[in-house]
Chains A and B, each alone.
Chain A
């Protein structure tokens, strides 16, 4: 089984409005895919379909199985975090939220503690554990929402604008953790966002516009598709554009997408 996500001829409507018009794409297992798309273009509907919260026409396969045939234990390895997931943490403490998240895994008590320890170490969130989620800032609560999803050690993580309440530094830190899990545990990540710069954090890009997939491909190919991105009102990511222009003027020789490396290359 090579594909973590496989979507074939997927249609979806709200009443008479068709939101998704027969879309196709695949995400290889262990990759980070970034989905960008226009306001009202069907991004959140798509995520809801992928995790079985909505039903459409067509076929969705996760980890090689049709989404409607996933067993309860299969579902444990698929997690989602929405922009407002932080509001749905209703336990008395953050620790309880983590315990609750593990309840369907049938773990022994020691195992539960081990799983929680692992995530707390990874997120360095000891100080949050005994807090009441209601007392957290949105930024802290959004971190907890992601930690609650990751504590179960999922194989696929869907993120729908999950970083929207995080400042730049925190967002970078959390993404570094996600990348680490992606590399070491081969967790597949499906990140839905508005920020074109985020595609540089991943391997694969899908551009959804008015319910159709208008561009898909590896990151290095997508950043060469400036014309198509422009057609759908997206600029190139800043570093991709800068790199392009500096190569054109022979200031640098190869594409450089890391800012520090770029500065060190220009001023050797």
Chain B
């Protein structure tokens, strides 16, 4: 029973990691851009959740309004700054986004203070669900169901809509898509906003479970990198399976060896690198 509990926890956690990594991967796939500010936007999502919940008294409004706000900020960053550096090498992307992450982190401390906050579990999802003799927190069940829904919606968006088609075609050949008459600037900005918005959404969803603090960005970024190193950058399936694997490892290890649970995430990555240097779904 304890293990079932931890497996469910791991699924929820893994789906959150999936959302973050999917955003990172979608951006990288189309834009060939590495976003080191991804973790900072995740943190921002969490803080928006706190503020919007305080302001309106409802977690649901923050869940609805938070991701668009994060996406809008990302869109603004893309249009003003990031757009200028696509053609530069990855090292430049990394340094500029590290700069953005620093600015976001320090701004967050200026607005919300350096001390972490906790966010109450939303109304209607407090308490536990009991099945026979097994009890599980309602919010965590909601989390699994909701993230699965988002995951499906994302798959539908990428695989079955015109926008998704353009994103996938652009990942293969940006020039060709541009030549066929697509406004590539707009597509890039929207994709960047979508990917970062996913990080914001993940930040909001995880806030009631793990709380928020201004220095959570780098931690989350590290985990997202582990997921994409395991799953292969640019691979949607890789992000899903990598995220779930990391979530399950962390969750199961936390019963066996609580202090080493975070450590084991990175151990998993090292093992994957040694056995399969290009990740489970990556291409050489």
A and B: interacting chains: no
Which residues on B are within 8 Å of A, measured CB to CB?
none
